[in-house]
Amino acid sequence: MQPTSIKSIPTRDRLIVALDLPDADAARRAVERMGDGVGFYKMGLELFMAGGYFELLDWLTGRGKKVFVDLKFFDVPETVRAAVRNLRNRGASLATVHGNDAILEAAAAEKGDTRILAVTALTSLDQGDMEDLGFKTDIASLVLSRARRALDLGCDGVVSSGLEAERLRAHLDERLLVVVPGIRPGVNRPVDDQKRTVDVEEAFEKGADYIVVGRPIRDAANPAAAAEEFQRRIAACFGE
């Protein structure tokens, strides 16, 4: 398998570990257990609601870590504009925004050094779920449409299942960042709330620039060793 991402991203930065944990103290302990194996972390809604979110962000960046703020900003455009403006200069490398064209455009206008990712379709949703939500198109077409609009509106990329990444690469130019969550390590993938999953090699073959991994590293008996195994597999994808 050969990766299709040609961006000059340090190979070890292509792994983002999700800190989906109950509080900031648990997140700090997890980061310390993973050590030098991980340099990029995703902080989501659970941590935000627990308190100490920005203190944790500062703690991570102070240790040379990169941070992906995954709060999926979704509100009236002016509120989203203000939220993204307040995120500037906090050291966040990536942030997610959800919503229509006006919301995405407002976020992109205030992004500063933070790269804005549009949410396409959550990896916990399958086609039946999308139909329940009222979408009359297939997931792949919806993801491509949202990605095309996001790029035109000034966003830097999208969060997308690896199953749709190949189509994004085929139809959109290389400027688009593709961040792929829902990574499961192999063929015998665990049954959980992620429905549209791929493994490491498949994600990069199909066009991922970054992958987001949570439970397979965070919940491992030895998180540092698990992280290093993911890093080894990613390096192999890129011939390193």
Q: What is the pLDDT of residue 118?
A: 94
pTM: 0.88
Tokens of 88: 């500037």
Q: Is 61 helix (H, G, I), strand (E, B) or coil?
A: helix
Q: Give catalytic residues, as residue numbers.
A: 72
Q: How far apart are CA 165 and CA 176, in angstroms?
A: 11
Q: Where are the beta strands (DSSP E) in the chain?
A: 15-18, 40-43, 66-73, 92-97, 115-119, 157-159, 177-180, 210-213
At 150, phi and psi to the nearest 5? -60, -45
pLDDT, tens digit, 9 for 90 and up, residues 220-234: 999 999 999 999 999
Q: What is the pLDDT of residue 120?
A: 78
Q: How far apart are CA 126 and CA 106, in angstroms?
A: 29
CATH architecture of 11-237: Alpha-Beta Barrel (3.20)
Amino acid found at 9 = I
pLDDT, tens digit, 9 for 90 and up, residues 69-79: 999 999 999 99
Q: Is 198 helix (H, G, I), strand (E, B) or coil?
A: strand
Nearest residue to 197 via CA among 122, 94, 96 = 122
Environment class of residue 67 by beta-carbon count within 10 Å: exposed (0-12), middle (13-18) or buried (19+)?
buried
- Tens of each residue's pLDDT in the chain, 240 residues: 566 677 899 999 999 999 999 999 999 999 999 999 999 999 999 999 999 999 999 999 999 999 999 999 999 999 999 999 999 989 999 999 998 999 999 999 999 999 999 987 554 545 554 455 455 556 677 778 889 999 999 999 999 888 888 889 988 888 899 999 988 665 444 444 444 468 999 999 999 999 999 999 999 999 999 999 999 999 999 988
